[in-house]
Amino acid sequence: MRGAVHFDDAAFRSRYPALCEFLSLGKWDDGSTRELGTALAFVEGDTIRACLNDKASRRVAFISAATWDKLWEVVEDALVNDSCDWRAVKGAPTQRR
């Protein structure tokens, strides 16, 4: 990947390539700098949740699952299929996706 941050967990990268790209791709196709996305996972009651922060586009999405493995599968699927329920970050200017 051009402009990528080093991500050395090959097994995780092979299972969740879209998530790894979201977290580590530091350049757009045109070579301009891309602000990296972040993923924060936490437990709330009986549910495991992830907050995806697309800093480049100033938006966030929350995803839930019953297990850790299922959470990352659902996150991967949502990123691949562009089916995240993205919400604009309040007060932040919109930038490119």
Cβ atoms within 10 Å, residue 54: 20
Q: Provide the sign of the torsion angle of the four alpha carbons 71, 11, 7, 30, taken in this order.
A: negative
Residues of the chain predicted below pLDDT 50: 1-2
Among 21, 88, 30, residue whose Cα is nearest residue 55: 88
The predicted pLDDT at position 96 comes to 57
The predicted pLDDT at position 1 comes to 42
Cβ contact 59:2 at 8 Å? no
